[in-house]
Amino acid sequence: MNKTLLNAAIAGSFLFSATANAEIFWQDISATYLNGSNYEVGDTDRQVFTFEHAAGYSWGDSFLFVDRLDSDDGFTETYAEISPRFKVYDFAEDSLIKAAYVATTWEVGQGFDNYLVGVGTDLNVTGFDYIQLNAYRRSNEFYESNYQLTAVWGIPFAENFYYDGFLDWSSASEGHAAEMNFTSQLKYNIGPMVGYDNRLYVGVEYAHWNNKFGISGIDERNLNLLVKIHL
């Protein structure tokens, strides 16, 4: 097992242990396949297999994903993020701000680990399944510490369509240009058409990524075909 998968497994085990006695309000497990031909930094043609787990607990919430990237030139890479948020305050049910959190993330790559700590919130906005806003201080393996702002959202519409995604902005620091990654998915649930009881999506993912990996002038505009199954 490579180091990235091992670290992700250790973190997942720790998170499972920490939540074993917590009340679970909801959880979701999914697997995604992406195929695109406009990647920057490395081979342009890649397939990506992603496992995701998200859950809400009595202590807060968590999100974990593991990406396995397979390039057409034979290069492979594994990357994971583990993001527990610890609830510190609940606001009134009808208020714009639903809750406040201590927000954390562990980024696990091949040869690096980055750690993020900050604050987060959930918003009540009509028409959205969820909106999360987080602000972090980043401690990075290969460049100086910096700051990151993250927004995450999900919007159902037209019965079986869904639009979700994230926006990450990180500040410049020594060895790292200011970076913006706006990645979203537009998809249609074909589960009812094929007799699948859960959600089975087909659609596209589009990445609009300026200064990818903090490399000045490396801008990715990348459309991927998508298949995503919720388990």
- Residue 61 tokens, joined: 């919430």
Q: d(Cα 6, Cα 151) in Å, to the nearest integer?
A: 28
190 in a structural domain: yes
**Range in 13-22, 105-114, 159-168, 218-227 the model is least confident about:** 13-22
**Residue 1: which pLDDT band, with cuts at 50, 70 and 90?**
very low
Mean pLDDT score across all residues of the chain: 93
Q: What domain range includes position 122?
A: 24-230
**pLDDT value, residue 158:** 93
**pLDDT value, residue 2:** 52
Higher-confidence position of 32 and 17: 32
5 in a structural domain: no
Q: d(Cα 24, Cα 96) in Å, to the nearest integer?
A: 24
**Range in 20-24, 114-118, 126-130, 204-208 the model is least confident about:** 20-24
Q: d(Cα 79, Cα 127) in Å, to the nearest integer?
A: 32
Q: d(Cα 194, Cα 199) in Å, to the nearest integer?
A: 11
- Cβ(135)–Cβ(149) below 8 Å: yes
81 in a structural domain: yes
226 in a structural domain: yes
CATH code of the domain covering residue 37: 2.40.230.20
- How many Cβ atoms sit within 10 Å of the Cβ of residue 197? 8
Read off the DSSP letter of residue 192: H
14 in a structural domain: no
Q: What is the pTM assigned to this prediction?
A: 0.89
**Residue 182: which pLDDT band, with cuts at 50, 70 and 90?**
very high
Q: Indicate the number of domains in the chain.
A: 1
Which helix H or strand E contains 87, and what residues bound it?
strand 76-90
4 in a structural domain: no
- Residue 115, Cα to own-chain centre: how many angstroms? 15
What's the one-letter identity of residue 85? R
Q: d(Cα 46, Cα 144) in Å, to the nearest integer?
A: 30
